[in-house]
DNA sequence: CCATGATCATTA
DNA sequence: TAATGATCATGG
């Protein structure tokens, strides 16, 4: 297991700015949707590889490391706008009830994020040009963080008061608790898979990260 | 099985 | 286009 510092990861990634990630994915044997399947996470995987990390689809690095995220951008008017929200981390009911913001995975990930902007060219991301690689450090005293913490606390309070099923993507100013997970029907049991949720960064937050970073 | 990588689908 | 909910592949 190589150790790749955040600075090194960024340096590695910057070499690929302007390139089409799909070509790189082919070269590195990352499965894209081309196999007839839909691997929606392929961009994330390829970026992890390019950064010099082990291809680790599993648990995200905890705490000591950093988070590598990619977001699709597109043009609105003449500006670059994030197309989608950004998944931060799964919500674990028990942990959310017990942990305050600064002990949460949400904070652990947000505070050390490495952010990759990728151009979106329509459904299936036929090509995916790497636009920008950046990083951002949050501090516990940032006003923005205080507001994000307020969202976290709100969602946490709602979970405690009304239960997991009362959560919705409508909550939160900067982050939201949307559904995320396997979804669909379990072919073995024929039953619906349980709904799970994750914290997402709203587009405004993504845009802010994009603009505030260098 | 489940969390992680994220995007797709639907409805305005 | 925007917002929210649903969904897919992967690998430990």
Tokens 């992890």, residue? Answer: A48
C-alpha–C-alpha distance, residues A105 and A90, integer Å: 9
Is residue A184 within 8 Å of A155, Cβ to Cβ? no
Q: In this structure, what token pair is assigned to residue A2?
A: 């190589």
**Three-class DSSP category at A75:** strand
Has residue A60 got a pLDDT over 90? no
What gap in Å lies between CA A108 and CA A140, rounded to an integer? 11
Give residue limits of the domains in chain A.
Answer: 6-212
Strand C and A138 CB separated by under 7 Å: no
Instruction: Find the Å distance, CA of residue A180 to C1' of nucleotide B6.
Output: 10
Average pLDDT score over residue span A69-84? 88
Which residues have CB under 8 Å from A15's CB, separation 6+? A50
A64 falls in which pLDDT band (50, 70, 90)? Answer: very low
Least confident of A12-21, A81-90, A205-214: A205-214
CA A90 to C1' B4, whole Å:
9
Q: How many CB atoms lie within 10 A of CB A169?
A: 13
Mention every residue, 6+ apart, whose C-beta is less than 8 A from residue A90: A105, A180, A181, A196, A197, A198, A199
Q: Residues of A from 55 to 84 whose C-beta is within 7 A of strand C: which are they?
A: 55-58, 74-76, 81, 84
**For range A124-131, the mean pLDDT:** 74
User: CA-to-C1' distance for A172 and B1, Å?
Assistant: 30
- Of residues A110 and A183, the one with the higher pLDDT is A110
Q: CATH: 3.40.50.12780, 3.40.710.10, 3.40.50.300, 3.40.600.10. Which one for A6-212?
A: 3.40.600.10
Which tokens in the block code for residue A75?
A: 């043009």
Burial of A212 (0-12, 13-18, 19+ CB in 10 A): exposed
Nucleotide nearest to A181 (CA to C1'): C7
The pLDDT, as a whole number, for residue A62 is 44
> Which bases of strand B sit closer than 7 A to a protein CB?
1-9
**What Å value separates CA A146 and C1' C1?**
30
Question: Model confidence over A3-58: pLDDT tens digits?
Answer: 678 888 899 999 999 999 888 888 888 888 877 788 888 888 888 888 887 655 45
> Which residues face A199 on adjacent strands?
A89, A177
Q: Which residues contact A52 (CB under 8 A, 6 or more apart)?
A: A2, A4, A8, A9, A12
- List, chain by chain, residues whose CB lies under 7 Å from nucleic acid strand B: A 38-41, 43-45, 47-48, 57-60, 67-72, 83-87, 89-90, 92, 105, 116, 118, 120, 123-125, 180-182, 186, 188, 194, 196, 198
Instruction: State the pTM of this model.
Output: 0.89
Query: Gap from A197 CA to C2 C1', in Å?
Result: 21
What value does the mean pLDDT take over residues A145-167?
94
Assess whether A121 (CB) lies less than 7 A from strand C.
Answer: no
Check residues A20 and A64 and name the one with the higher pLDDT: A20
Pairing of strands A112-119, A67-76: parallel
Q: What gap in Å lies between CA A17 and CA A74, rounded to an integer? A: 16
Q: Give nearest nucleotide to A55 (CA–C1').
A: C11
Which protein residue's Cα is closest to nucleotide B8 at C1'?
A123
The confidence score (pLDDT) of residue A63 equals: 41
- Residue A160 or A1, more confident: A160
Q: Which residue bears the tokens 């070269």?
A: A27
Query: According to the model, what pLDDT value does residue A78 have?
Result: 80
* CB A163 within 7 Å, strand C: no
């Amino acid at each position: 297991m190589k150790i790749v510092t955040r600075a090194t990861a960024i340096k590695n990634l910057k070499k690929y700015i302007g390139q089409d990630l799909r070509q790189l994915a082919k070269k590195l044997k990352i499965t894209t949707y081309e196999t007839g399947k839909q691997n929606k996470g392929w961009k994330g995987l390829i970026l992890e590889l390019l950064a010099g990390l082990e291809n680790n689809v599993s648990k995200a690095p905890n705490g000591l490391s950093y988070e590598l995220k990619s977001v699709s951008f597109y043009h609105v008017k003449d500006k670059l706008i994030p197309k989608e929200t950004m998944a931060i981390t799964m919500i674990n009911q028990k942990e959310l009830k017990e942990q305050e913001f600064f002990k949460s995975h949400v904070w652990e990930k947000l505070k050390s994020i490495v952010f990759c902007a990728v151009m979106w060219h329509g459904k299936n991301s036929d090509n995916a040009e790497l636009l920008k690689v950046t990083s951002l450090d949050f501090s516990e005293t940032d006003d923005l963080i205080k507001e994000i913490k307020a969202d976290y606390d709100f969602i946490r309070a709602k979970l405690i008061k009304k239960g997991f099923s009362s959560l919705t993507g409508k909550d939160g100013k900067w982050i939201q608790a949307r559904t995320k997970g396997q979804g669909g029907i379990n072919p073995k049991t024929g039953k619906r898979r349980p709904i799970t949720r994750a914290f997402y960064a709203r587009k405004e937050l993504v845009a802010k990260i994009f603009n505030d970073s260098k």
